[in-house]
């Protein structure tokens, strides 16, 4: 599917947005790689860690958390509990992030949230369900929708890199960001992947 999507986006960009065509050709075919065995809790915890942090900083904290859980011979779900609050803070998690992660744990433990039910939801229902959790906003839902459930038509309007990237693409064409998003529908997630991949590039 990814190759077909790529060819479609190339054709669209060739007609309407040359900078996007160049970006697509430079990046080549990109895929949405959905993890096969990642528990829902791990996905939620990782998403919280990545909120408003640079990738490198988030990756460091995520690795520390996994190392701590492994050292305790526990899954992340078991390790992230009230008794380990001090350890979680020492790893680098803020009080609000700990609260969000423990809240997600409680929702899963209580049966209010499970991966199977979420997997059959459309984006609107998924958004409603995830944002009902404390500390999970629009950006978090978008990341979960794309990278955990593989939804192909999600554009995260809260993402600073995406906003900067699409504006840069449109500056060299007669398109507005809204028009470009309409043109790439139903593959907005792939546009996001390409902008993230080339976040430091100049689109011209």
Q: Provide the CATH number for the domain around residue 92.
A: 1.10.340.30
Domain presence at residue 204? no
If asked whether residues 73 and 57 sit together in one domain, one would say: yes
Domain presence at residue 202? no
* Exposed / middle / buried, residue 190 (Cβ in 10 Å: 0-12, 13-18, 19+): buried
If asked whether residues 62 and 16 sit together in one domain, one would say: no
pLDDT in tens, 21-31: 999 999 999 99
What's the pTM?
Answer: 0.93
pLDDT in tens, 160-190: 999 999 999 999 888 999 999 999 999 999 9
Query: In this predicted structure, what is the pLDDT of residue 202?
Result: 53
If asked whether residues 59 and 140 sit together in one domain, one would say: yes
Range of the domain at 133: 40-147
| Closest-CA residue to 135 (of 94, 166, 193) | 94
The pLDDT mean for the chain works out to 95
| Closest-CA residue to 109 (of 138, 157, 75) | 75
If asked whether residues 45 and 26 sit together in one domain, one would say: no
If asked whether residues 20 and 101 sit together in one domain, one would say: no
* Exposed / middle / buried, residue 191 (Cβ in 10 Å: 0-12, 13-18, 19+): buried
């Amino acid at each position: 599917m990814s190759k077909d999507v790529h060819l479609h986006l190339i054709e669209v960009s060739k007609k309407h947005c040359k900078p996007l065509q160049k970006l697509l050709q430079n990046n080549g075919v990109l895929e949405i790689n959905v993890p096969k065995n990642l528990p829902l809790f791990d996905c939620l915890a990782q998403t919280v860690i990545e909120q408003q942090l640079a990738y490198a900083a988030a990756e460091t904290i995520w690795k520390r958390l996994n190392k701590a859980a492994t050292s305790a011979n526990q899954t992340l779900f078991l390790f992230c509990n009230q008794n380990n609050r001090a350890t979680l803070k020492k790893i680098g998690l803020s009080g609000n992030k700990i609260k969000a992660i423990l809240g997600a744990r409680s929702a899963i433990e209580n049966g209010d949230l499970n991966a199977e039910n979420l997997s059959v939801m459309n984006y609107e229902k998924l958004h409603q369900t995830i944002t009902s959790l404390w500390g999970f906003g629009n950006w978090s839902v978008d990341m979960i929708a794309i990278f955990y459930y593989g939804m192909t038509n999600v554009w995260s309007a809260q993402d600073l890199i995406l906003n900067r990237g699409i504006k840069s693409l449109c500056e060299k064409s007669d398109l507005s960001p809204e028009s470009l998003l309409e043109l790439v529908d139903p593959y907005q997630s792939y546009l996001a992947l390409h902008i993230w991949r080339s976040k430091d590039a100049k689109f011209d």
